[in-house]
Each structure stands twice: as C-alpha cells, then as structure tokens.
Amino acid sequence: MTSQALIFTLSALGISETVYLIKKRLLFQKPVCLIGENCLAVLESKYNKIFIIPNDLLGLLFYITCSLITAFLVIGVSPLLLWANIIKVLIAVGSALSIFLTYLQFRVIKAWCFWCLMSACIIWLMAVIILFTGRLY
Amino acid sequence: MTKSSYHIVRVGLAITFIWIGILILKNPEAWGGYVRPWAVNLLPISIAQALLSTAILDIIIGVLFLIDWLPWLAGLVASLHLIIVLAVSGITDITVRDIGLLAATLVVTIESLPIYIKSFFKK
C-alpha cells in the first residue's frame, strides 16, 4: 500500500505539472521558470515532440495511465499481475526516455527546463520505488 | 497568499481527495463504521451506496483540484462535504484532521473565486 500511495502521489504531481504546461502552450503563454531562465528554449525546441505528439501530452497520458493502474491495484481490479507488469514496463520506458531527454537538455539544447527536470525526477523516483519494493499488489 | 503556495495546497488536497475516494471504493463497508447511527437512519439509500457516492464525489473533487479547473467550485463542494462528514461522524481522534482539510478547502475556494463573484460580495 505504501508504494502504491507513493506512486499515485507522484503520478498526481505529474498530471498537475503536465496539465499546467499544456494549458500554457495552448494559451501561447510563457510558463513560470522557477530555476534557470531558459525553459522556453527547451519547451519550444525541435525535440518537444515525439513523432507528432507533444511531450507534455505524452507525459500527461503516461501519468494518467500510471495513476489509473495504481488505483486498479489498490481497489483490486483483476488481472492484478497484468496491471503490475504494465506499470513496471511503462515506468522503465519512461525512465529511459527521461534520461534521453535530460541528455538532450544538457548536451544538445544546452539549456535547462525546470518542468522537464521535475518530470524526469518524478519518473526516476517512481522507478526507484518499484526497484526497492518489487511487488506492487 | 502567493501563487505557488496556493498551488501547493491545491495539489495536496487533490491527492488527498482522490486517494481517499480510491480507499473508500476498495472497502466501503469499513468506512461505514465512521458514520453515526442517527445519520445512517436518515439516509434514503443504503450505507454502501452512500459511501460509493461519496467516493465518486471525492474523486471528482480531487480531479478538479488537480487539473485546476473550477477550483473554487470544487473547493466549495469539498468544504460542504467536509462539514457534513464532521457532522455525521463526530470529531474523533481520526476525523479531527478533517478540520485542517476544511481550512485548506476554504483557502482554495477563496483564493480561486472568479472576479465576478468577488465583485458581487464587494458591492
């Protein structure tokens, strides 16, 4: 239950953050950049999409899926093993993608985006929780 | 209240409300124990149905807080909901934390009230 609560909390933080970024993008407004000054350089770079899907939307879908699966695991919606495996795969893929996107900020774009780093940290924390707890149901 | 502190309270409340909703959905019978007998007798529906409705309401409130859509309305409903919870369960060692939640929901409601409602009260 503790690991599920932590993963759910992190997913909810991710939903809140990505919704904020999507709103700002749709309204053509500059997001608040709490650390650093170059959030827009990252958010408006050519790497802000994967195929045709904007990264913020992809992130939102990822976090919604994670929170829904965590809810299913808590409530006990079958098949629990399948849900647990899906969330593990999702978080593994998400972690790898976050490493790549952080590398792009560091080496290619040469600018840091607070919200992107926060999202990466959320996903890595989820991965650490799964690594340490193993079973999710 | 600064904008960032408002968002911290909003997201914190969102997580609390959704998680409580999920826990009630998991085991509604266990949560029924918190409702005082006099309140159960007043219900037109079964206690299980009432708690399932509460769980859905909690999740809806939480989602509205989380996506920052109509947060004042969610805060208002959440405040009324918490007042009812305090009334029907009494203030015990467990439910005393609802007072803090009630204060937080009132903060979100007041901070996010639309200008037309604020100006109505200022007249």
Residues 39-78 of B with CB under 8 A from A: 66-68
* Record: contact B68-A71, CB cut-off 8 A: no
Tell me how far CA of residue B91 lies from CA of B86, B114, B118, in angstroms.
6, 32, 32
Q: Mean pLDDT across the stretch B72-100?
A: 93
pLDDT grade for A20, boundaries at 50, 70 and 90: very high
What's residue B1's pLDDT? 65
What's residue A107's pLDDT? 93
Q: Which fold has domain A2-133?
A: de novo design (two linked rop proteins) (1.20.1440)
What's residue B2's pLDDT? 72
> Which of B11, B19, B68 lies nearest to residue A13, judging by beta carbons?
B11
Q: Is the ipTM of this complex over 0.85?
A: yes
Q: How far apart are CA B31 and CA B49, in angstroms?
A: 12
Q: Does B15 lie at the interface with A, CB-CB under 8 angstroms?
A: yes
Compute the 3-state secondary structure of chain A and give helix, strand, coil in percent, each to the nearest 5.
75, 5, 25
pTM higher than the cut 0.95: no
* Record: contact A71-B22, CB cut-off 8 A: yes
- The pLDDT tens digits for B10-44 are 999 999 999 999 999 999 988 988 889 999 999 99
Q: What number of CA atoms fall less than 13 Å from residue A65's CA on the CB side?
A: 17
Supply angle C-alpha B71, B77, B83, rounded to 5: 130
pLDDT grade for B69, boundaries at 50, 70 and 90: very high
- The pLDDT tens digits for A38-72 are 788 888 899 999 989 999 999 999 999 999 999 99
Q: How far apart are CA B96 and CA A135, in angstroms?
A: 34
**Angular region, A45: left φ>0, alpha ψ -120 to 50, beta rest:** beta
Q: At A54, phi and psi to the nearest 5?
A: -60, 145
Query: In 3D, which of B102, B104, B103, B72 has the Cα closest to residue B5?
Result: B104
How many CB pairs below 8 A link A and B? 36
